[in-house]
Structure 1
Amino acid sequence: TLRKPISQSSMADWASKNLNMHTQGIFRRRISISNMLSWNGGSIKKPMLITSNRTIKKEACEMFKLVQSYMGDRQTRMDRNHVALVTVTKCWSTQGLRDELYIQLIRQTTDNTCYRSLAWGWELMAISLAFFSPSPKFQSYLEGYIYRHLDSDEKIARHIKDLKNKKITKSRKKRKENTEDEGLPISTYAKYCYRKLQKVAVTGGKKGLRKPTVEEITHARNAILTPSLFGSSLEEIMQRQQDMYPGNKLPWVQTQLSQQVLALGGEQTEGIFRIPGDIDEVNALKLQVDQWKIPNSLSDPNIPASLLKLWYRELEEPVIPQQFYKQCISNYENPDAAVAVVQLLPELNRLVLCYLIHFLQIFAQPSNVGRTKMDVNNLAMVMAPNCLRCQSDDPRVIFENTRKEMSFLRMLIVHLDTSFVKGLV
């Protein structure tokens, strides 16, 4: 469900307080906010946003050229993948540049008369959101901008036509004549960006020490049309795998990662699910899994175990849907009632949850607990947050419910009959 973003007036108010007002001409006249937030074919002499950081001031102007290069509005010898990589890496490495990039993209996708340039600007925004979020203070502004483009294709087409009919400079005429090219509807980019923004604001984007790679840039671009196996709904994931694995009743990613954990001796590995795998290795595996590949080079069971937890945690809707949450935390001490809740779940959710519980029951066996030091309580503690999501913002409620969530999952690990899952894919 899309929440209503901040109003247009609130966005204007934010802009008036945070934009680094530019001037033009020999009399140094101040450029209006609307002009500052409209497509510009030239360069900028200072950042769009107010900053006192000298490095940011310099990098922001160079980054604007990169944005123009990616959008096809400035000639460059670099291919667009490399331009995107340089841009994203700058912002990923320097947090202070992130809001600057997003405001530059807002500017270059406003009053832009070239559809191809416009689409590529939105594409770069989508790619960027795969790696880093805007700051909390800028998030609502970006959210408001994206929201206003969710269903605006006809309006955009009319606006571009109106702009072209106005008197525009000769150089701009030349630009629009040479580069007109239809692409994806802008609403497609906007819808993807909106969902991505909601997620990245929570997850924080790409983690680890390794810088972004060209492969990750390509993957981020492809994800606009081909949703990732991570962060999608169970239904979307099953639909995606229909062609490749038409007979499967469970998500391929779930079964493959689970099997990898066991194949690498995870049930005999101390601290499994508690000790995280190397984040860069997890990121690399995620990239492979999203291409339906499981590399043969894996040796540490903590890598697929960490990615498996991430997959559960990032599901668009948790394995146990939100409407069953209250029933779960109300029956955390009653084995029969807890098992009964599972039987009420939609069929796909029930199968996915039962597969997970069956998987955890392997680790809960006394012979394995002696090695892993992960008894049923520990397993429930690390996995409950990946299955149930408390919607409250009250710390006291969250704290109290965390205990109930753990107890509920523990009940399932101990009492749920999952024998039917064995061999199911």
Structure 2
Amino acid sequence: MGMEDWASKHLNMHTQGLFRRRVSIANMLSWNRGSIKKPMLVTSDRAIRKEACEMFKLVQAYMGDRPSRLDRRHCALLIVTKCWDMPGLRDELYVQLVRQTTGNASPRSLAAGWELMAVSLAFFAPSPKFRCYLEGYIQRHTEPNSDKKLTQFILEQQELKLKKNSKSRKKRKQNTEEEEGLPVSTYAKFCHRKLLKVAITGGKKGLRKPTLEEIDHSRRAIITPSLFGSSLEEVMERQSELFPDRKLPWVQVQLSQYVLALGGAQTEGIFRVPGDIDEVNALKLQVDQWRIPENLSDPNVPASLMKLWYRELEEPLIPMDFYKQCISNCDDPVAAIAVVQSLPELNRLVLCYFIHFLQVFAQPSNVAITKMDVNNLAMVMAPNCLRCQSDDPRIIFENTRKEMSFLRMLIVHLDTGFIEGVV
């Protein structure tokens, strides 16, 4: 069932003209210049009905289709905050964005609509019942042929600017992305990755509402991938310009050292007690800009962020191709170590650093204070480096024990002395 079939069951029936004729599903799902008088989706919630219509105006303002006193950043902040506060608005927003990016003849507006979808997916997911339809819509735009109109527009604009503007080439390059956007397929591919991720991990957590800094961060991530949610290879490629000689991810090393520097090895419940989620979110923004603040005092904050980094890797630290070997050899230290030695070199190095770090906490003198022995460490850390792909609760339950046992084997038996001094 496609988007149109889903829409026929869930969309409000809108009317237009003097005789209040019904608007067809196709028109309901196509770009609209005017405002809407009722939500796109059927709802009995009065507050949702009111906010949906106001939100549509903000969407149009963000896309440049409606005059507004607000700049784009503040429009996005208002939209995201409304949906973050009122979960009932989230599907409404995604349907509005589907509408305004369908049949849109303005490449600039089209790019802005896709950008807003990407920003929104950084904060919250659509409902499970709508997710597959949104995913289908996004996937249809991941092919480069959806970029033809936008590419032509960009070329025309660049040609005009070269004729009219004699400013420096550097200045033109800085302005191009903001004014002209990226190819639709670039946005769509990014949105697809964000949708898959947010559906699993959930959206923004904590008590603090979204901030402009988080909006800016989510917009930048479209062009410059985050250190979180990327593959190990992408992380290393991104850091190669800043730290060409490093063999390990900067984010992994910095957060690990930060935990130790703040006394994490002498903190009861370390890795089990979560850090303040708002502080973790704030630290994440800093780390993604290659900065480590000096004002933190709670080791649980970098410890929580470190766990998040491992957990959000695009492919798990121990790749899926090795998962069966891990759980099959979970009680055999020799075989478990052999699995580690057979990993791709980057994964092997990162995993060995991870295990070496955990071995510090497994020392009896530290366990006496932290109350986190090797079994507890394996329990809280196994989900961050091994991922079961089964949906069967029985298999998940059984494999959880094996994942913990495998990690325990490594903490106890893996020789990681060689990793000391490697960064």
Structure 2 length-normalised TM: 0.92
Contact 1:73 1:117 in 2 (8 A): yes
Secondary structure at 2:60's aligned position in 1? helix
Verify: 1:59 aligned to 2:51, yes or no: yes
Give distance in 2, aligned partners of 1:25 and 1:156: 34
How do residues 9-408 of structure 1 correspond to structure 2 at under 5 angstroms? 9-154=1-146, 157=149, 182-408=180-406
Deviation at 1:203, TM superposition (A): 1.0
Deviation at 1:110, TM superposition (A): 0.7
Deviation at 1:28, TM superposition (A): 1.1
Residue identity opposite 2:97 in structure 1: L
Deviation at 1:183, TM superposition (A): 2.9
Secondary structure at 2:99's aligned position in 1? helix
Deviation at 1:11, TM superposition (A): 2.3
- The C-alpha deviation readout for 1:258-298, integer Å capped at 9, x for no partner, is 00000000000000000000111100000100000100001
Give distance in 2, aligned partners of 1:74 and 1:158: 20
- The C-alpha deviation readout for 1:339-392, integer Å capped at 9, x for no partner, is 111000000000000000000000000000000000000000000010100111
Give distance in 1, aligned partners of 2:200 and 2:398: 22
Q: Kindly tell me: are residues 258 and 117 of structure 1, through their superposed partners in 2, closer, same or farther at Cα, counting changes over 3 Å?
A: same
Give distance in 2, aligned partners of 1:424 and 1:183: 40
Give distance in 2, aligned partners of 1:237 and 1:159: 29
Residue identity opposite 1:112 in structure 2: N
Deviation at 1:253, TM superposition (A): 0.3
Contact 1:111 1:160 in 2 (8 A): no
Secondary structure at 2:222's aligned position in 1? coil
Contact 1:112 1:160 in 2 (8 A): no
Secondary structure at 1:223's aligned position in 2? helix
Sequence identity, in percent? Answer: 77
| Aligned twin of 1:5 | none
Residue identity opposite 1:376 in structure 2: V
Deviation at 1:159, TM superposition (A): 12
Q: Any runs of at least 4 consecutive aligned residues in structure 1 with deviations exceeding 4 A, and if so which?
A: 158-161
Deviation at 1:307, TM superposition (A): 0.4
| Aligned twin of 2:164 | none
Contact 2:107 2:150 in 1 (8 A): no
Total equivalences in the alignment: 398
Contact 1:261 1:305 in 2 (8 A): yes
Residue identity opposite 2:74 in structure 1: H
Give distance in 1, aligned partners of 2:206 and 2:63: 29
Contact 2:264 2:300 in 1 (8 A): yes
Give distance in 1, aligned partners of 2:271 and 2:180: 47
Residue identity opposite 1:94 in structure 2: M
Contact 1:153 1:185 in 2 (8 A): no
Contact 2:147 2:185 in 1 (8 A): no
Deviation at 1:155, TM superposition (A): 6.4
Deviation at 1:141, TM superposition (A): 1.1
Deviation at 1:12, TM superposition (A): 1.8
Deviation at 1:17, TM superposition (A): 0.1
Give distance in 2, aligned partners of 1:402 and 1:51: 41
Deviation at 1:252, TM superposition (A): 0.3
Unaligned runs of 5+ in 1: 1-8, 162-180
Give distance in 2, aligned partners of 1:100 and 1:364: 49
Unaligned runs of 5+ in 2: 154-178
Verify: 1:422 aligned to 2:420, yes or no: yes
Contact 2:386 2:403 in 1 (8 A): yes
Give distance in 2, aligned partners of 1:392 and 1:58: 42
Q: Kindly tell me: are residues 354 and 158 of structure 1, through their superposed partners in 2, closer, same or farther at Cα, counting changes over 3 Å?
A: closer
Structure 1 length-normalised TM: 0.92
Contact 2:151 2:183 in 1 (8 A): no
